[in-house]
Amino acid sequence: MTETEDARTALLDWLKYAWDPELSLVQWRRRLAEAGWATPTWPARLGGRGLPASAASVIAATLAEFGAVGPPEGVGMSLAAPTLLEHGSDELQARFLPPTVTGEITWCQLFSEPGAGSDLAGLTTKAELSGLSHGEWRVSGQKVWNTSAHHADYGLLVARTNWDVPKHHGLTYFVLPMKQPGVEARPLRQANGHASFNEVFLDDARIPAGFVIGDVDGGWRVALTTLAHERRAAISSSPPVQREGRAWREAAQEALHLRAPYRWYPQRAGRVDLLMPLAIATGRGDDPHVRQELARAVTLAWTARWTAERAAAARKLGKPPGPEGSLGKLASSNVARAARAAHLAIAGPSALLAGADSPADGLIAEIILSVPAISIAGGTDEIQRNIIAERVLGLPKDPALDASIPFRDVPKNRG
Ligand SMILES: Cc1cc2nc3c(=O)[nH]c(=O)nc-3n(C[C@H](O)[C@H](O)[C@H](O)COP(=O)(O)OP(=O)(O)OC[C@H]3O[C@@H](n4cnc5c(N)ncnc54)[C@H](O)[C@@H]3O)c2cc1C
């Protein structure tokens, strides 16, 4: 038996006596974490079992198959935990990892700013050591596009701490307590009707001493870790599992809350799955234009899926990541746009209608309005093509004329 198969057997044995659906969600997750099954691939000293990365999905599937609740979803487990694991001090790890794993605290990502998205290293939110309290920081500035910031307990914040060095060298990565007077999160209403993001205004907000992840002025390296995990992160948008027992009831409530900002994410991916049924149901399958658009979207989607499956198979065999990894994000944008064109061809002008009488109860309009987001979130298509040009095709780097002069001297658009 392999190490992962052994672990699966051990987990099933453990669950037979440890799983109790009448525990509270937190009590159950603490039990799961103490046994190392909440985070099986983490090192033992941090509450894991040191299993290989490939074991994570097997352990998660085993928990689901047995009918036991697993760790929470969201920014905490997908971005905060891996960043703290790689760069956090012992104190930060001990303080923040356990309540993140049990879902007692939630997180948001405070990276983008009105003037810094693709060029994240050009951000201007300012953090300074407070003169009043030893080691405490004060931070002022504005962030934007921050998913779930209106209810998160902590923010993963990158701020500028040194203006006299080139832009990548003067950034520091902080844990920002969100529930304080100096932090205001204002939800932004999107064209598709949802309000997933916020503007976050920081006005002399306080960051306690020791809440720096990595080194002061060394935040860029830490941010790259978060960004690498962001490209892999996925959150489920399906309805939460409904099962008997207190732990499941509380998990369903939690999932409803955590998944709310992501409800429209399937629509932003284009809903290729709806194309054939809608073409048939509306009798549009014999329209030559519909057939062209539909076949184009479906073949693009299949090709993207096969490429992703090839990449996953190579990873399983322990092969180094190939170009497939960089192509995946771009392929999702291409698939979404092709699906949008096919939906427009099927529904015609009524695609723009919302409300009860509209095609698919307004879902088509939601697709049309949501698709642009997929080619922006987590890095735009243009940035992704730059990455492919440099790292896959070996072309020279994207010229960055401001990367070697002190940030203070970089010309800025004062709008
Ligand atoms: C659904 C969604 C969720 C998000 N969630 C979060 C979040 O939780 N936290 C957070 O901090 N941010 C979040 N963001 C913000 C996201 O990271 C930024 O929108 C993204 O990085 C692009 O930055 P920008 O919007 O400032 O566009 P800009 O960087 O201003 O880009 C404008 C245009 O210029 C192009 N461009 C820029 N530079 C280059 C270049 N070098 N070469 C060629 N073209 C270029 C871009 O491709 C784009 O078309 C989210 C965004 C979306 C859509």
pLDDT digits (tens, 9 = 90+) for 100-144: 999 999 999 999 999 999 999 999 999 999 877 789 999 999 999
List Cβ neighbours of 44 (8 Å cut-off, separation of 6 or more). 36, 50
Is 397's C-beta closer than 6 angstroms to any atom of ligand 1?
no
Average the pLDDT over 272-279 and give the result.
97
Q: pLDDT tens digits, residue range 318-341?
A: 777 677 777 888 999 999 999 999
Q: Which of 199, 230, 324, 382 is catalytic?
A: 230
3-state secondary structure (DSSP) of residue 245: coil
Q: Which of 78, 79, 83, 112 has most ligand 1 atoms within 8 Å of CB, for mutation?
A: 112
- The answer, yes or no, to whether residue 7 has pLDDT greater than 80, is yes
- What are 166's strand-pairing partners? 406
91 included as an active-site residue:
no
Nearest ligand 1 atom to the CA of 398 is 41
Q: pLDDT tens digits, residue range 247-261?
A: 999 999 999 888 888
Task: Mean pLDDT check: name the lowest of 33-47, 56-70, 310-324, 377-391.
Answer: 310-324
- The answer, yes or no, to whether residue 415 has pLDDT greater than 60, is no
- Write the burial class of residue 404 (CB in 10 Å: 0-12 exposed, 13-18 middle, 19+ buried): exposed
Q: What is the pLDDT of residue 221?
A: 97
Percentage, residues of the chain above pLDDT 70? 96
Average the pLDDT over 378-392 and give the result.
91
Q: Please report which confidence band the pLDDT of residue 2 belongs to, taking 50, 70 and 90 as the band edges.
A: confident
pTM summary value: 0.91
Determine the distance separating the centroid of ligand 1 and the alpha carbon of 382, expressed in angstroms: 10
Q: What is the pLDDT of residue 311?
A: 85
User: Is residue 206 within 8 Å of residue 180, measured between CB atoms?
Assistant: yes
Quote the tokens at residue 150: 């209106």
Determine the distance separating the centroid of ligand 1 and the alpha carbon of 180, expressed in angstroms: 28
200: enclosing H helix or E strand: strand 197-207
The Cα–Cα gap between 260 and 400 comes to 38
DSSP character string of 363-401 = HHHHHHHHGGGGGTTTS-HHHHHHHIIIIIS-PPPPP-T
Determine the distance separating the centroid of ligand 1 and the alpha carbon of 75, expressed in angstroms: 18
Determine the distance separating the centroid of ligand 1 and the alpha carbon of 401, expressed in angstroms: 20
Is 190's C-beta closer than 6 angstroms to any atom of ligand 1?
no
The Cα–Cα gap between 223 and 142 comes to 18
Task: Mean pLDDT check: name the lowest of 38-47, 171-180, 227-236, 270-279.
Answer: 227-236
Return mean pLDDT, the chain. Answer: 92
Q: What is the pLDDT of residue 389?
A: 94
Average the pLDDT over 259-274 and give the result.
93
Quote the tokens at residue 181: 């007077």
